């Protein structure tokens, strides 16, 4: 079995007991069961919760430009293993694109409206905070690529709801001119209340280094709590082992940084 297939099979696994295999005693495993849930009449999402009794802190996961795919579901499963209820709203309403189909994914991304997406984030928040097993006052948000930009925006628009935000390689936050025609978001920094962590790869050709500087300047000027980390030998999408740009060592360190960040702010 290939390593990537093994990771897909093992995603979201939690220890529940013991079984005997041959002459050795080994831990039995049970899969955390994520499910597709309805957030509004025309909006669904992927939801998974930790085993045991809550109330659990929660994290909303905002997808990449490729849709609510196995990678985003795997992020939710990993969060549930770490003790967080996790929800990924489907802002594409069922459309999913292969990583090789960049042209159609970008076309879909360009069809989104920031206000509509933020309204749907609000529906996701309503779902999470109504769950009996979720600690409504301990909800964070994280996102990737397109979702990194929307994480930055959500931390401002829903500033009274989110307690921490982690934006991975969010293109379109502070470009000189966005190639996709999106509005820059630095004017939203003043509205933020929760600390934000921004993670980038030094080899990401879609986000220029001077954008990092503009983001840091805006957040510092607004006197906001933030962490901005740039990983050498990492490009766009480096956290996902399902992408060709996966970088194992930076991915491990960035994930651990994220878990430490959420632990400090949500637990």
Question: Helix 70-81 crosses helix 3-10 at what angle (to 10 degrees)?
Answer: 60
Determine the length of the chain: 267
pLDDT at 80: 98
**Rounded to whole angstroms, how far apart are CA atoms 89 and 117?**
10
What single-letter DSSP state applies at residue 158? Answer: T
pLDDT at 24: 31
Q: Is the dihedral of CA 49, 51, 54, 56 positive or negative?
A: negative
List the end-to-end C-alpha distance of the chain, in Å, as a whole number.
Answer: 37
Decide: 72 and 102 in contact? Cβ < 8 Å.
Answer: no
**Rounded to whole angstroms, how far apart are CA atoms 256 and 178?**
31
pLDDT at 138: 98
What's the token pair of residue 232?
């050498």
Q: Which domains does the chain have, with CATH numbers?
A: 1-31 (no CATH), 33-266 (3.40.50.1820)
For residue 150, count CB atoms less than 10 angstroms from its CB and return exposed for 0-12, middle for 13-18, buried for 19 or more: buried
Ramachandran quadrant class, 42 (left: phi over 0; alpha: psi -120 to 50; beta: rest): alpha
Residues of the chain with pLDDT under 50: 1-30
pLDDT at 31: 62
Facing residues of 196 across strands? 165, 226
Helix (H) or strand (E) holding 14: strand 13-21
**Rounded to whole angstroms, how far apart are CA atoms 66 and 102?**
8
């Amino acid at each position: 079995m290939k390593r990537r297939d093994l990771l897909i099979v093992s995603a979201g696994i939690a220890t529940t007991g013991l079984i005997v295999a041959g002459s050795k005693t080994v831990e039995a495993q049970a899969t955390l069961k994520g499910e597709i849930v309805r957030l509004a009449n025309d909006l669904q999402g992927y939801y998974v919760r930790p085993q045991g009794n809550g109330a659990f802190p929660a994290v909303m996961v905002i997808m990449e430009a490729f849709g609510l795919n196995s990678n985003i579901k795997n992020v939710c499963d990993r969060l549930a293993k770490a003790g967080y209820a996790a929800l990924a709203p489907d802002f594409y309403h069922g459309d999913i694109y292969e990583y090789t189909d960049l042209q159609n994914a970008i076309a879909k991304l360009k069809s989104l409206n920031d206000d509509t997406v933020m309204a749907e984030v609000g529906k996701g928040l309503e779902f999470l905070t109504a769950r009996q097993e979720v600690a409504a006052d301990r909800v964070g948000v994280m996102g990737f690529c397109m979702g990194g930009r929307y994480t930055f925006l959500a931390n401002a628009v829903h500033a009274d709801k989110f307690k921490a935000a982690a934006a991975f390689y969010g293109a379109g936050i502070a470009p000189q001119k966005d190639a996709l025609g999106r509005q820059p978001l630095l004017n939203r920094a003043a509205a933020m209340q929760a600390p934000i962590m921004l993670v980038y790869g030094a080899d990401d050709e879609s986000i220029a280094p001077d954008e990092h500087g503009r983001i840091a300047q805006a957040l510092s000027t607004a006197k906001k709590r933030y962490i901005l980390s740039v990983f050498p030998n990492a490009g766009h999408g480096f956290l996902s082992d399902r992408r060709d740009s996966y970088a194992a060592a930076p991915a491990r360190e960035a994930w651990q940084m994220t878990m430490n960040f959420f632990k400090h702010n949500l637990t």
